[in-house]
Amino acid sequence: MMYSIIYNYLTGYFSPLVSEAGAILLMFIIGFGITLNAPILLGWVDRKLSARIQSRYGPVYTGKFGLLQNIADVMKLLGKRFITNSVVDRLVYNAVPIALATVAFLMVFIIPWGNNDLTIIPLPYNLLFIYVFLAVSPLFVLLAGWGQNNKYSMLGGFRGAAQITTYELSLLIMLISVAVLSGSYNISTIVSAQSSVWYVLYLPITFAVFWMASLAITERAPFDIPEATQELQAGWKIEYSGIRYGLFFIAEYVRLLVVSMLIVYLFLGGWNGPLLPNYLWFWIKAVVVTFVMMTLRWVFNRPRIDQLIKLGFNIMLPLSVINLLIIGGLVVF
Amino acid sequence: MEATGSTNRITINIGPVHPSTHGVLKFVVDIEGDTMVKVEPEIGFVHRGVEKMAEGRNYNSYTPVIDKLDYIAALNWEVLYASVVEKALGVSLPPRAVYIRTLMCEMQRIMSHLLFVGHVGEDLGNTTLFMWGFRERELLMDLMESVSGGRLAPMYVSMGGVYYDLPKDFESRLLPVLHTIEHRVLNEYKALSYENDLFIARTKGVGVISREFAYKYGLTGPNIRGSGIARDLRKDEPYLAYDKLDFDVVTEKGGDAYARFMIRINEILESIKMMRQLVKDMPAGEVKTKVPWFFKIPPKYTFVRQETPRGEAAMYMVTNDDTKPYRLKIRSPSFYVMQALRELMVGHKVADLVAILGSLDPVPGEIDR
Amino acid sequence: MESLDRIKGRFPSMLKDVPSTNDNEAVVELADKTQLRKIVAEAKKYFDLLFMLMVVDRPPKTFEMNYVLSSYSKKDLLTIRVNIDRDEAEIDSIAGIFTSAEWEEREAYDLFGIDFRHHPDQRRILLPEDWPGHPLRKDFEVTEEVKNWTGLDMKF
């Protein structure tokens, strides 16, 4: 465990109390660092990737390969004035970005970063907790839409709530299928259950449906319907600017990363693999999945909200339920 | 929120500053849930009094104003305006000028349609298609710049011909570009747009224009060719060199946004075909008949209509033995499209507003004049 | 033009031929403006597209209304020309016959100040609601009011 490694290392130099405090502080710093830096790096990758797909260069001037561009953007967002519309519900308006970023932050703490030792806070049922943190976001989307007191944001909020609620149902059922198969809600148990055969071979339909649902739940294009720039301008984010908007970005990219990691953990064998160290195996898989997730954004157009909900309730939900029943049957008999 | 009574009807303003209005348009939309129940288009945000301006300047100095009407296909309008004046004046063009004008018109049409393709992609949330449309348009923009010196507002057509001859290496530069565009439209765009399931889901059956509807609102051009009405002034009333060209009038059955998209895609290919013929048959000689800068036109009514990328554009010019028009009425096809939108959009989802608007390809500069 | 002869046959001695300077175009002048709706309704049987509505200001007395009708299937154009009094600029709306005329008439109302009777929704279309005057009239002057018009009910 990361905590005990750091603690043991520190006790060599300091008293136990100081070491404990130091270990907690360090883990906070690590978690914070990941939360803040992952979006910057992922944002850069996203920009470069989209640029290449669209015959552009993307950022080139800021640092080598434009690597510092997103840092510059964060500086810009930090330096921006807080603009608060006079009609907004101030409490809700101010709370939502912080809440969303906090949820992202919590996911970073719970999920294993490569292998079981690299978990910041190990929890026995971490899969369930991650699900809860993913599932809580429609509430915030709805609140943000409401709190801005704007028709566009309200529409976006409704859409977001409808979309994510639709997909969470299938997501939960798919997580249950994986749990039924492995007999656990713990990611490390699920991964070790896949040491011989990856679950993608057992559950190909679940894998495909899970991929779709995770796209929908991260609200990235093609499923960015709640914030559809071309229809609702920015949907539920419409009145946000400056670093509040930046917090949404953090939440979005952390969610993207977490969902990609979940796909690897649940279906692609996690950190299992020959020769290379296990965390390297995990990161190779995670990077590939994240890349595919990002590419999908740039090659598809956005479906309509009713089409998406129809797809969710008419196809994906029945599929996942049937899948769960089959797996349950297989496991029992 | 303005919820009226027990129904959950909300009025939202889409525009005048909105990413998908292709300029400055406004829609006052009443929605129930996500469905539009009443749409009222409002125009006039970029009204510059173009028709009034015509009454105040001489025939030649009015051409730059025409450029700003439909800034996506400025050259087609320049040709239309020059044709009206030439017809009133009784000037005939040298054959090379006719061919160059036709060539540039078709080039402008491809540019306009490429922009359309990109914009439909953007409206549906596919930014890659948007960028690709601009990428291909840029190739033609460079050619346009080498010919006329201008990219968006070329100011190339003069009374009695065109201002400059084509550059010497024009043909050798044009043909590879045409090949590239043809290849990309046929192969690269396919996966992203017209054979993409999500794209089809968003455009098929959306904003269906029936034959009666098109007649009712006086729609013209590619928008009605998508409804199976094979009307194209280039074929029906050939002007310029169109009667010497071998091309087909593209039609589609559906009448929906998808059909209108396909019309534009196929028209790009037809225009490429035409441009190849034009370059091959390009006659030599003068590019301009001498027309003095100031001239007077005796009192008469002159009417000319031509096919611009957005439909049938026409000018009706009343002259009064003066160096400037007495009255110049401009028929812009997009104006009629805007009028039709209030009926076309009702019953669709808010998300379809952008799909329908994009597929009809209006340009505010031309609507508001 | 055969169709024109038929229209004239329905309304004898109401339409007067005017020589046209354009190919395929026939121009007729209608003296009695109250008959416009009937004529246009009859003409719609042959010309299914209202191509444009051109108003020409002929001071000091008349507005010349040119209804250019066209057809989706034929090349022919028919221009119905009606002269109306400039001081009492008023004419029947044909928006009930050609729906596409609705905005054209709004535009004529906006820029010339012509009043279309029985128009479904006669408002300004291109200019703001409170714009002073009708700019396409030949006697439109750029007055102080026009120059200082800001579009805002606000004192600076």
Residue contact A231–B351, C-beta within 8 A: yes
C66 touches chain B (CB under 8 A): yes
Q: Tell me: pLDDT of A217 over 70.
A: yes
Residue A306: pLDDT band (50, 70, 90) is confident
CA distance B89 to B288: 15
Which residue carries 């020059």 as its tokens?
B82
Q: Is B264 on the interface with A (CB under 8 A)?
A: no
Determine phi and psi for C80, rounding to 5 degrees.
Answer: -100, 120
B297 close to A (CB below 8 A)? no
Q: Which residue has the higher pLDDT, A228 or C63?
A: C63
Residue contact C22–B52, C-beta within 8 A: no
Element (H, E) at B304: strand B301-308
Q: What are the residue ranges spanned by the domains of chain B?
A: 1-47, 50-360
Mind telling me how many Å the CA of C97 is from chain B's nearest CA? 9
Read off the pLDDT of residues B135-166 as tens digits, 9 standing for 90 and up: 888 898 998 889 888 888 888 888 888 888 88
> Out of A53, A54, A222, whose CB is closest to B125?
A222
Mutate to test the interface with B, among A154, A304, A310, A315 (most CBs of B within 10 A): A304
Are the C-beta atoms of B28 and B40 separated by less than 8 Å? yes
CB proximity B218 to C under 8 Å: yes
Q: For the domain bounded by C2-139, which CATH number is listed?
A: 3.30.460.80
Residues of C in contact with B337 (CB under 8 A): none
The answer to whether C25 contacts chain B (CB < 8 Å) is yes
C39-72 pLDDT tens trace: 888 888 888 888 888 888 888 888 888 888 888 8
Q: In B, which residues are within 8 Å of C48 by CB distance?
A: 215
Residue ranges with strand state E in B43-177: 157-158, 161-162
The per-residue pLDDT for B1 is 44
Do C125 and B43 lie within an 8 Å CB cutoff? yes
* C-interface mutation test, from B52, B212, B243, B303, most C Cβ less than 10 A away: B303
Nearest C-alpha of chain B: how many angstroms from A40?
A: 21
Q: What DSSP string describes A48-116? A: HHHHHHTT---S-SSSGGGTTHHHHHHHHHHHS-----TTS-HHHHHHHHHHHHHHHHHHHHHS-SSSG
Q: What pairs with residue B57 in β-bridges?
A: none
With DSSP H G I counted as helix, E B as strand and the rest as coil, what are the percentages for chain B, rounded to 5?
50, 15, 35
Residues 6 or more apart whose Cβ sits within 8 Å of residue B159? B59, B60, B82, B85, B86, B89, B91, B291
What residues form DSSP beta bridges with B327? B318
Q: Count CB neighbours of A83 within 10 A.
A: 10
Q: Judge whether residue B4 has pLDDT over 70.
A: no
Which residues of chain B have a CB within 8 Å of the CB of A159? 34
A275 CB within 8 Å of a chain B CB? no
CA closest to B353 among chain A residues: A231
Contacts of B215 in chain C (CB under 8 A): 48-49, 72
d(CA B316, CA B301): 7
Between strands C77-85 and C25-30, the pairing is parallel
| Confidence grade of residue C143 (pLDDT, cut at 50, 70, 90) | confident
pLDDT tens digit sequence for B226-280: 888 888 888 888 888 888 888 888 888 888 888 988 888 999 999 998 889 888 8
Residue contact A231–B131, C-beta within 8 A? no
pLDDT in tens, B187-209: 888 888 888 888 888 888 888 88
Partner residues linked to C63 by β-bridges:
C57, C84
> Which pLDDT score, from 0 to 100, does residue A234 have?
72
Candidates C51, C98, C135; nearest CB to B331: C51
Contacts of B226 (CB under 8 A, 6+ apart): B209, B251, B252, B254, B255, B256, B259, B260, B262, B263
Q: Is the pLDDT of residue C90 over 80?
A: yes
Taking the Cβ of residue B35 and every Cβ of chain A, the question of whether any pair is shorter than 8 Å is answered with no
> Which one of B36, B119, B123, B352 would you mutate to disrupt binding with A, by most A Cβ within 10 Å of its Cβ?
B123
Q: Which residues contact B324 (CB under 8 A, 6 or more apart)?
A: B54, B55, B56, B57, B58, B59, B62
Between positions 89 and 128 of A, the ones with CB within 8 A of B are none
DSSP E strands, B126-206: 157-158, 161-162
Rounded to a whole number, what is the distance in Å from the CA of B82 to chain C's nearest CA? Answer: 16
DSSP letter string over C7-20? HHHHSTTTEEEE--
Q: Which of A47, A56, A152, A231 has the highest number of chain B CBs within 10 A, making it the mutation to test binding with B?
A: A231
pLDDT surpasses 70 at C155:
no
Of the candidates B128, B196, B198, the beta carbon closest to that of A298 is on B128
Q: Considering only CB atoms, which chain A residues are within 8 Å of B135?
A: 54-55
pLDDT at position B12: 84
**Domain residue ranges in chain C:** 2-139
> Which of B19, B34, B198 lies nearest to residue A300, judging by beta carbons?
B198
Residue of A nearest to B190 (CA): A299
Lowest mean pLDDT among B333-337, B340-344, C149-153: C149-153
ipTM: 0.85
CA quadruple C112, C116, C122, C123: dihedral, nearest 10: 10
| Residues in chain A within 8 Å Cβ distance of B353 | 231
Query: β-strand C90-92 against C115-117: which pairing, if any?
Result: parallel
Query: Of B368, B367, B337, B331, nearest to B80 (Cα)?
Result: B331
Q: Which amino acid is at A162?
A: A
Rounded to the nearest integer, the mean pLDDT of chain A is 81
Residues of A in contact with B128 (CB under 8 A): 50, 53-54, 298-299
Q: A135-144: per-residue pLDDT in tens?
A: 887 788 888 8
The residue whose two tokens read 């290392």 is: A9
pLDDT bucket at A216, cuts 50 / 70 / 90: confident
CB pair distance less than 8 Å for B314 and C51: yes
What is the reported pLDDT for B163?
Answer: 87
CA angle centred on B73, ends B169 and B325, rounded to 5°: 110
With touching defined as 3+ CB pairs under 8 A, do chains C and B touch?
A: yes
Question: Are A305 and B349 within 8 A, CB to CB?
Answer: yes
Cis omega before residue B176 (within 30°)?
Answer: no
| Chain C hits for B218, Cβ within 8 Å | 49-51, 98, 100
Chain B CB within 8 Å of residue A228 CB: yes
Residue of B nearest to C25 (CA): B303
Report yes or no: C50 at the B interface, CB cutoff 8 Å: yes
Chain B residues with beta carbon closer than 8 angstroms to that of A54: 127-128, 131-132, 135
Closest chain B residue to the Cα of A54, Cα to Cα: B128
Question: Would an 8 Å CB–CB cutoff place C131 in contact with chain B?
Answer: no
Give the pTM: 0.87
What pLDDT shows up at residue C152?
A: 64
CA pair distance B93, B99, nearest whole angstrom: 10
What pLDDT digit, counting tens, does each position of C121-132 carry?
A: 888 888 887 788
Cβ contacts of C73 on chain B, cutoff 8 Å? 231
Res A31 pLDDT > 80: no
Q: Is B215's Cβ below 8 Å from some Cβ in C?
A: yes
C124 contacts on B by Cβ (under 8 Å): 44
How many CB pairs below 8 Å do chains B and C form together? Answer: 75
Q: Residue B363: what are its φ and ψ, rounded to 5°?
A: -125, 120
Higher pLDDT, residue A150 or A114:
A150
Q: In B, which residues are within 8 Å of A152 by CB distance?
A: 12
pLDDT of residue B290: 85
- The pLDDT tens digits for B83-110 are 988 888 888 888 888 999 999 899 999 9
Of A7 and C65, which is predicted with more confidence?
C65
The candidate with the shortest Cα–Cα distance to A242, out of A76, A103, A94, A88, is A76
CATH number for the domain whose boundaries are B50-360 = 1.10.645.10
Q: Name the residue with tokens 């006329």.
A: B148
B51 reaches C (C-beta below 8 A): yes
pLDDT of residue B3: 47
Q: Nearest 5°: phi and psi at B42?
A: -125, 135
Question: Is-contact B332 B36, C-beta < 8 A?
Answer: no
Q: How many other CB atoms are there within 10 angstroms of residue A203's CB atom?
A: 23
Tokens of A329: 């049957």
Would you call B122 and A230 a contact, using CB atoms and an 8 Å cutoff? yes
8 A C-beta contact, residue C126 and residue C143: no
Measure the N-to-C terminal CA separation of chain C; round to a whole number of Å.
61
- Residue A4: the pLDDT is 75
Residue in A213, A214, A218, A227 with CA at minimum distance from that of residue A309: A213
Q: Is B309 helix (H, G, I), strand (E, B) or coil?
A: coil
- Decide if C135 and B52 are in contact by the 8 Å CB cutoff: yes
Is-contact B130 B123, C-beta < 8 A? no
Number of neighbours of residue C124 by Cβ within 10 angstroms: 16
Q: Please enumerate, as own/partner, the contacts of B88-94 that have beta carbons within 8 Å and a separation of 24 or more.
A: B88/B297, B88/B300, B88/B302, B88/B317, B88/B319, B89/B159, B89/B291, B89/B295, B89/B297, B91/B159, B91/B160, B91/B289, B91/B291, B92/B289, B93/B160, B93/B161, B93/B289, B94/B161, B94/B285, B94/B286, B94/B287, B94/B288, B94/B289
Task: Please give the Cα distance from A269 to A285 (Å, whole number).
Answer: 9
Backbone φ and ψ for A116, nearest 5 degrees, come out as -65, -30
Q: Which residue of B has its CA nearest to C140?
A: B52
pLDDT tens digits along C73-88: 878 888 888 888 888 8
Strand partners, B40: B28
The beta strand positions in chain C, using DSSP E, are 15-18, 25-30, 49-58, 62-70, 77-85, 90-92, 115-117
| Contact assignment for C100 to B326 by CB distance below 8 Å | no
Is the peptide bond prior to A222 cis by the omega test (within 30 degrees of 0)? Answer: yes
Distance CA B20, CA A57 (A): 25
